[in-house]
Structure 1
Amino acid sequence: MAKWLYNLGKWSFRRRKTALIGTIAVLVIAIAAGIGMGSNFSGDMSIPGTKSEKAQKMLAEAFGTSSEGGGTITLIYKAPEGETLESESVKQLIQTTEQEVAKDGEVASIASPFDSGSLSPDKRIGYSTVTYKVAADEVTEESIDHVRSAVETVNDKGLQTELGGSVALSELEIGGISEVIGIAVAFLILVLTFGSFVAAGLPILTAVIGLAIGMMLIFVGSHFTAIPSFSLSLASMLGLAVGIDYGLFILSRFRQNLNEGMERAEAAAMANATAGSAVVFAGLTVIIALLGLTVTGIPFLGAMGISAAVTVFAAVIVSLISIPALLGATKKLFLPKAGKIESDTHPNGRQADESNRWGRFVTKYPLPVLIVCVLLLGLVSLPALHIHTGLPNNGTKSTDTTERRGYDLLSEGFGPGFNGPLIIVAKSDSDVVDPAAAIGEATAGLSELPNVSSVTPPQSNASGDTAILTLLPGTDPLDTETSELVKQIRQQADSIHEKTHVELMVTGSTAVDIDISDMLNQALPKFAGLIAGLAFILLAIVFRSILIPIKAVVGYLLTLTATLGFIVFVIQDGNMASLFGIPEAAPVLNFLPVLVAGILFGLAMDYEVFLVSAMREKYSHSKHPKKAILYGLKTNGKVVFAAGLIMVTVFASFIFAEDSIIKSMGLALAVGILFDAFIVRLTLVPAIMALLGKSAWYFPKWLDRILPKIDIEGEAFQHDKRTTSTDQRRIS
């Protein structure tokens, strides 16, 4: 592969116009296709085979209804002080608002609080339900704006009116302030790294091009498969971060090659062959980790992984083709000054210093460094022991949003469980003589369960063998007590069926979210174990060592648990929440642990490979373990430092997003990379290797013979090139 990348780099450098025009042409075609076709993202986050999904199917079969239905917007009212919603002036305002909303031709019906009885016991809070002719995700922005306009008018007249329902009232923002902040800070880091504005701009430029191509491909793909809308944010985070990092890796090697005396075309080609090989390996590792999300059996999570993998793939390809071409177009970039070409020895004959202060400190005190790192990561991991996951709802949004204010009004008027009712489906067996009596007996005890606020009477279908009930919990949908109530009903269902021959099932949005969270929590240990095993095999093949892969896997697991612990500490427990703009303590996003496990694996292996490959290269020549560690930290350590800082910055910029899903993903990935790059890879890894000494590189000979060899830094190719160059000099 190194030879192929060398030829690609030299071709791109020499035929830079062709390479750049080709890249721009692909970008233009992708943008034309993406914008031309538009997007067709899905809001479906269901998981096949859950208990709640089975109950929904039973409900649809019994009552002939679909789980889709028309989208709804709820108009939630609160009467002014001293009045009720039944006061004549207030009632007139509500009816006028409903009449205005009904002018939209897309409205199918409006259920008034006075006709449907949707008034609180004190008559001060109530709601109208606006049902549309199309599904929730198909309700147009014009219809939403029409409702907002009607609500603003009535609010100005003194009647507090907020919005809720199944229709998303605010679109997920892709692009904007988050990416701008991330790119700006990344640019400053690159300027400090390279000391050149032009050089700093190259990785930014190629990353943006790769990201744009990847995003447009996702737009096109959304027409052929179900992709969640927030997949774009994850793809944007990763595509931008890895794109900048991969450009940084190749540019750093190019500068190193120049300083060793190579001419520019050769330096660019060799950078593509060596650092480019590492980029390909790193990119494939991230892509494999993302595609690995499909093995969880959770469709929306797999779609997120595939979408992000597309942007990472685009970042790799654009970096390998465009960076050498841009280096050819910027001829004065990185030109070493006379007398500044580096060599292995000083002019006085002494060996050049191949260490830095950090490397000397870590290798001098490896045991204390190891203990501090493990204790720190272990301490941060502790909150993960009481992690509670769920899906964010309107109650987790900022009080600046109408959805949150409406959510709070419904809780105030009807109780906290009103925002997440449980739908109980009771179906009698075919041999039951009196289904109605059996269903009544089976459901009689529901109201006596702890944490039950109310239960509606059973409503039977036409055949009378199935009934539906609405149960209101006494707690919020995201409360652990609500989850316990769902589990308790299901646990009692078997004994109730045995006694009454009636099957009880629980569904509804709250039960669906609980089932999704449970399945994701069950998938996490299996998924983390799978990729940890993959990491061990992969690194054993690459570094021809047993202990280095074990150390890498342990470091990855420490990073993962510390990241989850920090997220629980901030998001779930509410500590430092205001610092990160988190409006309300809430359960951790249910798919976040699995997502973070996959992404951190890929990114952690990037830094592990880039750092340890330099150590391996030095050790293979010197057979001196400490010198190898010092060399790796000095040469590739500073690149890993800059790359990690850039990635943390890009991910952290998404914390400024309004959407809680994007905010939590950005925070988790920023903290995860912070722990992994700076504590694990640049501190813990060299400390452990210093303690292990030569044993770190032990590899059984029989295993070395049977395992394939992967040359990720193009060592064999470099050796062949040096040999050829030496032979040519001898002949001349």
Structure 2
Amino acid sequence: MSSSLYRLGRAMARGRWKVIGAWLALLALSGGLAFGLSGAFSSTFEIPGTESQQGLDELAQRFPEMGGTAGQLVFVTTDGQDVEAHRAQIETVMDEAGQVESVAAAPSPFDELSPGTRTPDGDALIGNVQMSGGMGSFPEGSIDELSRIAAESSTDGLEVHLGGQILQSAEMPMGISEVIGILAALIILAVTFRAVLPAVIPIVSAIVGVGVAMLSVMALSAGVEIPSVTISLGAMLGLAVGIDYSLFILSRHRDQLSGGMEVEESIGEATATSGSAVIFAGMTVIIALLGLFVTRIPFITIMGVTAAATVAISVVVALTLLPALMGLLGERLRPRRVRRLMAENGGVLPAPADGEKPKKPFGTTWVRAVTKIPALTIVLVIVVLGALALPIKDLRLGLPDLGTERPDTEARQTYDLIAEKFGAGYNGPLLITADIINSTDPLGVVGELEDRVAALPGVQEIQLATPNRGADLAVVVVIPTGSQTDESTADLVRTLREDAPAWEKDLAISDMRVTGSTAVAIDISALLSQALLPFSLLVVGLSLILLMIVFRSIWVPIKASLGYLLSVGVAFGVVAMIFEYGWGNAALNIHVVGPVIAFMPIMCMGILFGLAMDYEVFLVSRMREEYVHTGDARGSIERGFTGSAPVVVAAALIMFSVFASFVPTGTYMLQPIAIALAVGVFVDAFVVRMTLVPAVLALLGDRAWWLPAWLDRLLPTMDVEGEGLKAVLEHRSWTAQHGRAAVRLEDVRAPLAGGGEIGPLTGSIAPGTLLVARSDDDPARSAFLDLVSGRLAPLTGILAVHDRLAPDDLSAIQSRAHRIGAGEDVTARLQQIAARGRSGQLIVIEDVGDLAHAVTVTDGGIGAQLEELLEGGATIITGSRAAAALGATQTEQHVIDALPDPSRHIALRLERAGDAQDSTEQDHASQGSTAVSAEGAHA
């Protein structure tokens, strides 16, 4: 992977203007679609198949008067009179409300058939307003018109307030948060780089990525129902990871420039090394977010998919746009001191002066302190984090109602007014539906059902009990004693559902369901709670597997996963302190004490998983690299930590700042998520990864890097540390010294079908060569042909085919190699290859006999085509069953004779490892053959 990223980074730097132009065009296209389609976000939460949703669907179909979105006009007298004294004024207001577009019904609260609710002393009255359709489906002007009517109808003796579900906003909750987060990130980056210009680059790339992602989501909202919180969640996550991913690559580039490396080469190497880790980090976040499918909740899945897409775009931006920007700025990103020194020394950075003491690396004192007595560090960290996680036991989940709006909003003020005058239950009534089609006395059945419901604990009153117009569906509107988020209300819902089967039998009714917004919230919270355990197992299990692949260790993944759980526990514990206990509420501009948004735990677990693995990889991969090179377990911890700690500190501070900036100006849905992510990132980076991890590794010593051999063989190899780049750079150096080669082999060994090996193979084949690989050992010959055509990965050594290295670039080798199987029409295939272009092509013909047959059939005419291909830089490799090392067979000689330039022919004898008598022996006897030089191939 790193070799491909190296080439990608250099290509993006060379084509910088095209890359930048492409991203700007994509940004403009996304913006045009977003504003052209004029999509709208949803503030409703639905789970198809739940009892509450089935009840709502049934109401919409069989009792449409109660199936839309409910609103309330609350009338409060201020002159000491009963509301009856203002009857005419109230009825006029309701009449005006009924004329507003999309208002299905606004009956007079004095109507005997649908009376409004009065307070016991008669100083307040609720009039119901029913909108047609769900929230967000009616024109924006309708709500504005109702607000205007309420405001203009208020007099000295009567106040009119608009409230209810219709005021729940579906607007994008965007604001100053993004600006604050960006400014904080800019300051941290400027301090990290000690310069403003490089600090701006990650900000610009992150903004472009977030812009494309969010504008695309806005465009999709025209055809897909997307929750309104998605846009803020995506912006928050996209800014954080976008800045951090760019920081990882840019910091490596700056370090290399400080060491005197050439700009384009540095961009390629930075993209290959840090870019590999960025891809891994992005993959972990994406996989975890896509894992939200396990909830089987549509709106959660959509939020997970859009967040994952945002992260994916951030990764692509970091690997394409960022190298282009670095290439555009070129030498200006090199520190001034280094630029000055290089200018004074002919463009070369001079070696440090003798006796010059290097600066003490960042974090050395800290890592030495936490690893001095590792057991004590581990115990202290676990005790402190465990104590902070304890409040998680009191964390309650729910969905937003108007009581979560800010106190200065009309919706919240009316909500509080209703709770004060009528009781908290009036803000979240329950609806009970029952099929009464088999009843001979619909009114009597509804009355009996009303009596039974009213007798239950937790019921304040029955607001309405009536059959629909067809007398086949009963609806009972229940006012609970508690609010939507009170435990007493949840208990009432459970009691009603438990009693439903017996009531259905006694009253000869069927399909009794408890629904309404309160029941929907309870059902969603319950389903999310149930999904939390399987999702946690998925995330932890995934982290174990991924980290075993990366670090080739058992204990490192276990330690990383347990540390992740500690970070999550502390994050949720702090959220409980703030939202359940009310600690620091006012300072954080939070106006809610009570349950947090139901999807907060599962969403934060997915995001924190990826971020935790991000820091784990950047810190521990350096330690593992040091251990592999030195075998010094203790020293590798210190050297790896000091080498990677500065960038991890900066990345964590940026993440924390971005997430924390969304708290003061965020909504109820976003604030607990932002707090959990900010606390989780801070704890995971500074306490778990930079304190607990070094201590655990120091305690384990060499055992930290142990992996059973059988498991090592099963796990795939993932080049997160950029190891493959070393082979790419070595091959570039070899090419500069020896020239380009179509195929290069350096101590290559490969497995044979049925057992055994071929090799070691060392040498090279120049472009424009016809090589005949001779062996009467079919597996050995096939293995060689498979190697050079990218169908077989070498066991050891270096295999390069036109600058593509195996095993990292096997797919690229395959795409450049044309394989002509035994018995195929060689003439037709060569004509096809020639038509597509010859430069850099590798043609592998399994049987030289097929090539000889083509020569015979065309009466030697194919010789000119072969020469044309070879002259154009193509390389042809074919297999021969000849056993002799010297002298061409008649079949092979027939092909050689057809070549206008027989010197292009080379023969190679292949034998199994251990069988060769003279591995350098070549065919000098055959006409037109040439001996293989030091750059030639031999086996």
* TM norm. shorter chain > 0.5: yes
Say if 1:110 and 1:131, in contact at 8 Å, map to a contact too: yes
Say if 2:214 and 2:235, in contact at 8 Å, map to a contact too: yes
**Cα deviations by residue, 1:407-457 (Å, 9 ceiling, x for unpaired):** 122223322211111222234696x78777666656643322222212357
Gaps of 5+ in 2: 343-347, 740-939
Tell me if 1:112 matches 2:108.
yes
SS in 2 for 1:550: helix
Structure 1 residue aligned with 2:929:
none
CA RMSD of aligned residues (A): 2.8
Trace 1:391-470 onto structure 2 (pairs within 5 A): 391-427=399-435, 444-455=451-462, 458-461=465-468, 466-470=473-477
Trace 1:169-208 onto structure 2 (pairs within 5 A): 170=169, 172-208=171-207
Structure 2 residue aligned with 1:305:
304
> Which residue identity does 1:111 align to in structure 2?
P
SS in 1 for 2:161: strand
Say if 1:524 and 1:594, in contact at 8 Å, map to a contact too: yes
**Cα deviations by residue, 1:367-426 (Å, 9 ceiling, x for unpaired):** 222122211211111111122211121122232111112112222332221111122223
Structure 2 residue aligned with 1:357:
365
Structure 2 residue aligned with 1:663:
671
Distance in 2 between the 1:495 and 1:129 partners?
33
**Cα deviations by residue, 1:106-125 (Å, 9 ceiling, x for unpaired):** 54442233334313232211
Structure 1 residue aligned with 2:215:
216
Larger Rg: 2
**Most deviating of 187-196 and 566-575:** 566-575
Alignment equivalent of 1:626, drawn from 634, 637, 651: 634
**Cα deviations by residue, 1:3-35 (Å, 9 ceiling, x for unpaired):** 121111111222222221222122222222222
Say if 2:294 and 2:531, in contact at 8 Å, map to a contact too: no
Residues 3 and 382 of structure 1: is their aligned pair in 2 closer, same or farther, counting only changes over 3 Å?
Answer: same
**Cα deviations by residue, 1:100-155 (Å, 9 ceiling, x for unpaired):** 54564454442233334313232211133334455431333333333333333344
Residues 441 and 173 of structure 1: is their aligned pair in 2 closer, same or farther, counting only changes over 3 Å?
Answer: closer
Residue 499 (structure 1) shift? 5.1
Residue 247 (structure 1) shift? 0.7
Residues 78 and 437 of structure 1: is their aligned pair in 2 closer, same or farther, counting only changes over 3 Å?
Answer: closer
Structure 1 residue aligned with 2:481:
474
Residue 360 (structure 1) shift? 1.3
**Most deviating of 349-358 and 587-596:** 349-358
Alignment equivalent of 1:489, drawn from 481, 496, 501: 496
Residue 315 (structure 1) shift? 1.1
TM-score normalized with structure 2 length? 0.73
Distance in 1 between the 2:276 and 2:9 partners?
11
Distance in 2 between the 1:429 and 1:690 partners?
74
Tell me if 1:52 matches 2:52.
yes
Structure 1 residue aligned with 2:78:
80
Structure 1 residue aligned with 2:560:
552
SS in 2 for 1:78: strand
Structure 1 residue aligned with 2:587:
579
Structure 2 residue aligned with 1:19:
19
**Most deviating of 486-495 and 190-199:** 486-495
**Cα deviations by residue, 1:310-338 (Å, 9 ceiling, x for unpaired):** 22111111111122211122222124526
**Cα deviations by residue, 1:266-309 (Å, 9 ceiling, x for unpaired):** 11110001111111111121111111112210000000011112
Say if 1:425 and 1:506, in contact at 8 Å, map to a contact too: yes
Distance in 2 between the 1:58 and 1:25 partners?
47
Alignment equivalent of 2:703, drawn from 695, 717, 721: 695
Say if 1:189 and 1:642, in contact at 8 Å, map to a contact too: yes
Trace 1:563-602 onto structure 2 (pairs within 5 A): 563-602=571-610
Distance in 2 between the 1:157 and 1:139 partners?
32
SS in 1 for 2:52: helix
**Cα deviations by residue, 1:344-364 (Å, 9 ceiling, x for unpaired):** 999459999666121111111
Distance in 1 between the 2:228 and 2:406 partners?
21
Decide which structure has greater helix share: 1
SS in 2 for 1:491: helix
Residue 725 (structure 1) shift? 3.4
Structure 1 residue aligned with 2:291:
292
Structure 2 residue aligned with 1:682:
690
Distance in 2 between the 1:221 and 1:200 partners?
33
Gaps of 5+ in 1: none
Distance in 2 between the 1:194 and 1:238 partners?
23
Q: Percent identity?
A: 40
Alignment equivalent of 2:530, drawn from 513, 518, 522: 522
Residue 682 (structure 1) shift? 1.5
Residue 639 (structure 1) shift? 0.9
Distance in 2 between the 1:66 and 1:681 partners?
58
Residues 76 and 721 of structure 1: is their aligned pair in 2 closer, same or farther, counting only changes over 3 Å?
Answer: same
Say if 1:559 and 1:675, in contact at 8 Å, map to a contact too: yes
Residue 38 (structure 1) shift? 2.2
Structure 2 residue aligned with 1:332:
332
Residues 418 and 715 of structure 1: is their aligned pair in 2 closer, same or farther, counting only changes over 3 Å?
Answer: same
Structure 1 residue aligned with 2:34:
34
* Count of matched residue positions in the alignment of Structure 1 and Structure 2: 726
Distance in 2 between the 1:450 and 1:208 partners?
54
Say if 2:43 and 2:168, in contact at 8 Å, map to a contact too: no
> Which residue identity does 1:23 align to in structure 2?
W
SS in 1 for 2:669: helix
Residue 59 (structure 1) shift? 4.7
Alignment equivalent of 1:377, drawn from 379, 382, 385: 385
Residue 79 (structure 1) shift? 1.0
Say if 1:56 and 1:67, in contact at 8 Å, map to a contact too: no
Distance in 2 between the 1:711 and 1:31 partners?
37
Which structure exhibits the higher relative contact order, with contacts defined as CA atoms closer than 8 Å and separated by 6 or more residues? 1
**Most deviating of 271-280 and 653-662:** 653-662
SS in 2 for 1:471: strand
Tell me if 1:511 matches 2:502.
no
TM-score normalized with structure 1 length? 0.92
Distance in 2 between the 1:556 and 1:289 partners?
13
Distance in 1 between the 2:202 and 2:710 partners?
43
